[in-house]
Structures are given as structure tokens and as C-alpha cells.
Structure 1
């Protein structure tokens, strides 16, 4: 079963996610890498619908499927305040819930491609509700909850690239 958090997402509404550290489709800074500073890049949010109750932010690596056997989840943050306009590098938005990534860490787990360059998808969804789930929820379950319990009012994505040479791969 696919969920709203799986794969690339189509732009819906005026919601926008940008970063002053890289442009959509460009290489992310070395500092975001798991083997480096391992902190997410600064992000800017705009165009949130007025009736949004929360935002969901996910970053994953579909290119990892060839090696790991699944899309690698690097970051899962939900119940982000819809008034959030900026998320400083390495910080979790106040009041938001950060869940486990595929490094089995409850926070950002930066890019760590084993070889070559991978595309990393930052997906942002504006929902009509907050989600009543514990921090231990994984992306598949959260995506199912969104599909069953929420209406997606707007969505967008930002793609960053990261090369194995930017950090020490596992």
C-alpha cells in the first residue's frame, strides 16, 4: 500500500519549501551529511493554507532502494506549527514531534550514500488536523494515518543532491 509520504509528490497549492543553503535539484552542503556535522539544512516555509492545523516534513532517499532494499528515511517531523516560516539548521521546530529514521535515531540522520550521488526528497504537507501518534511512529504508519485521518490541503517538495565523496560512507 502506498501512502501520501511515498515517492515523489506533486505540487498542490501555494505551499513552498526552500533552503538558503541550496537550490532545488542542486547539491546540498557537506555539513548535512551523516559523517560530517549531521545537521539538516536551514529551511524556509511559505504559502501555508490559512486553514492548516499542522505540517509534516519528511526527508528520504529513494536512490537507496537499490542498496538497502527500501527507500531510506532520514527525517520525519510532524505536528509542525503551520505558522512556522523558518527552520534553522539543526533545529527541530518548537512543539513538533520528531520520529525515528532508518538509522534508528529519533532525529535527523543526514545523507550517507554508499557510492555515487543520490537525490534526497524533502516533502512538506499541510494538513487539516494534528496527528495524535507517539514519536516512535515510522513513516509508513504515519503515511497511513494521514491517508485515513487527515486531508492534505497543500504539498510540495525540495530535492537536494549529495555525493558519497562529500562524506565518509558506511
Structure 2
């Protein structure tokens, strides 16, 4: 990394460490929340986002893998801004928080890269991490929490 200042990642939908609104989860519309990215360093050619849940019962669950995002300050709600990789559900695109029990943490990692990446649609997180490692200028994180709504008993 060549930048000394981390990216500042915020959202007007939830605060860092706060609760993610249901709209962005399996209890709602399951669209990605808006992200605001500050301190994008000079020379940034693209951004990448990895969203993961480290509290998943079977290990880290990948909710969103996307790269070659234009280096703009705002990632809009309900938009896939770049090329999508394969999430933990085996699909491409955003997979909203949906913890089986309890409250889980969701980390939105954003990376500023000094080039676009030559990766195929559907690449997994490991391939993205390997491809971007030498080109990271800066990174930042936003963390939100979510507890799945109680389901009414079936009669």
C-alpha cells in the first residue's frame, strides 16, 4: 500500500457499528446499502468491495464481491457498480444479511486500486484478493450489525 491515509467508509443508512436496516437484508428488499467513500487517493483507477460475515456458523460468509468500480465517492443503493464475484450463496451480486440466529457483524471492506483487474465475472473472494493485493493504494471498513426478525410460528 502506498497511501498512508485509510479510506473513510460511511453510509447514510446506518452508522459504523450500528444496526443495518431490514431493507438491506433478507427481511426486506435485499438491496445493497449506499456507501460513501472518502480519502480516495490520487492515482486510484478502480475500487473493490468485499462484504463478509465472520459470525456465520460455518466460518466467514461472503455477502458481496465486486470490483472494477469507478473511483467515485458514492456507491448508490441497489446498484451493482462493477463486476460481481461469487458470494457465499454461490451466486453473483449482493446477498443481504440473513443470520440464522443471534446478531451478526457485517464488514464492508473497500479497496482503492491503482488499476482495473482482469478477472472473470463470478470469481471468488480468494481470486479477487490475490489479483488486487499488489495494487492496493488504500482501504477502509464499515461494520454493521443485523439480527434476523423473528418468524411467526407456523400453525
* Fold similarity call, TM over 0.5: yes
Deviations 1:31-53 (A, max 9, x none): 11124211111111121001111
Contact 2:91 / 2:122 at 8 angstroms: preserved in 1? no
Structure with the largest fraction of helix: 1
Contact 1:35 / 1:167 at 8 angstroms: preserved in 2? no
- Distance of aligned partners of 1:12 and 1:28 in 2 relative to their CA distance in 1, 3 Å threshold: farther
Structure 2 partner of 1:74: 63
The equivalences for 1:17-166 within 5 A come to: 17-64=9-56, 67-68=57-58, 70-82=59-71, 84-93=72-81, 96-147=82-133, 150-165=134-149
1:62 shift after superposition:
0.4
- Distance of aligned partners of 1:32 and 1:166 in 2 relative to their CA distance in 1, 3 Å threshold: farther
Based on CA coordinates, which of the two structures has the bigger radius of gyration? 2
TM-score (structure 2 length as normaliser): 0.90
What CA distance in whole angstroms lies between the structure 1 residues aligned with 2:12 and 2:150? 19
Q: Which runs of 5+ in 2 are unaligned?
A: none
TM-score (structure 1 length as normaliser): 0.82
Runs of 4+ aligned structure 1 residues displaced above 6 Å come to none
- After superposition, the CA RMSD in angstroms is 1.8
What CA distance in whole angstroms lies between the structure 2 residues aligned with 1:28 and 1:14? 23
Q: Which runs of 5+ in 1 are unaligned?
A: 1-10
Aligned residue-pair number: 150
